[in-house]
A and B are shown apart, each in its own frame.
Chain A
Amino acid sequence: DAGVTQSPTHLIKTRGQHVTLRCSPISGHKSVSWYQQVLGQGPQFIFQYYEKEERGRGNFPDRFSARQFPNYSSELNVNALLLGDSALYLCASSLEGGAQTQYFGPGTRLLVL
């Protein structure tokens, strides 16, 4: 079975621009979570969505938003990009929301210049 897939794999943007990252969960999984991993650090939780509803939100500004579609795929949007948004963005899926075991995709590496 296919694992979690993310697109694009790499992305270069300039400050002030907007970016959309995409994630498809493992087949049968209904929940998607997003994390930001800055180089040399552990991932930081951004959002979890389950059945198209936001279940949890981390300590990120309102420039970060997300949504989940009826097929359980998800988009993460970041507006007004800052240099500090440069990171690896990881998507994880789980069968259901909450404390279920999360399985991670390969990530999208975003560079903001």
Chain B
Amino acid sequence: GDSVTQMEGPVTLSEEACLTINCTYTATGYPSLFWYVQYPGEGLQLLLKATKADDKGSNKGFEATYRKETTSFHLEKGSVQVSDSAVYFCALSGIPSNTGKLIFGQGTTLQVKP
């Protein structure tokens, strides 16, 4: 079945360092791909999305490109801030898409130190 695999955390970086969180997926068809962020004690916030191959989603300095050939959707940011410390989830829209099912990875914790 469809699935999402994320790199294990925690990822610890110094402020202004570059970030990459790897995400690969297995899916039938052509799902939409999403990155959500969860701050401590809160629900999930949509960070960015891409709906078809080669689309690039971007928001708040974060980017991810839908790579069909490598079935990947890696999250990148050029310069992280302490406020970016959170858990990041990669997700895809399950098939059949009319069920509304999102399939999430296990999450990657990011800690940014001053």
Give the size category of B's interface with A. 20 to 34
Q: Is the CB of B43 within 8 A of A42?
A: no
A99 near B104 with CB under 8 A, answer no
Q: How far is the CB of B31 from chain A (nearest CB, A)?
A: 8
> Hey, what's the 0/1 contact readout for B60-72 against A, CB within 8 Å counting as 1?
0000000000000
Query: Given known contacts A104-B45, A106-B43, is B106 in contact with A97 (CB within 8 Å)?
Result: no
A100 to B46, CA, bound (A): 12
Task: Flag if A56 contacts B99 (CB, 8 Å).
Answer: yes
Contact A55 B100 (CB under 8 A): yes
Identify which of A31, A44, A94 gathers the most chain B CB atoms within 10 Å of its CB: A44
Q: How far is the CB of B57 from chain A (nearest CB, A)?
A: 11
Complex A-B: 10 CB contacts under 8 Å: A31-B100, A42-B91, A42-B105, A92-B44, A100-B100, A101-B34, A104-B43, A106-B43, A107-B42, A107-B43
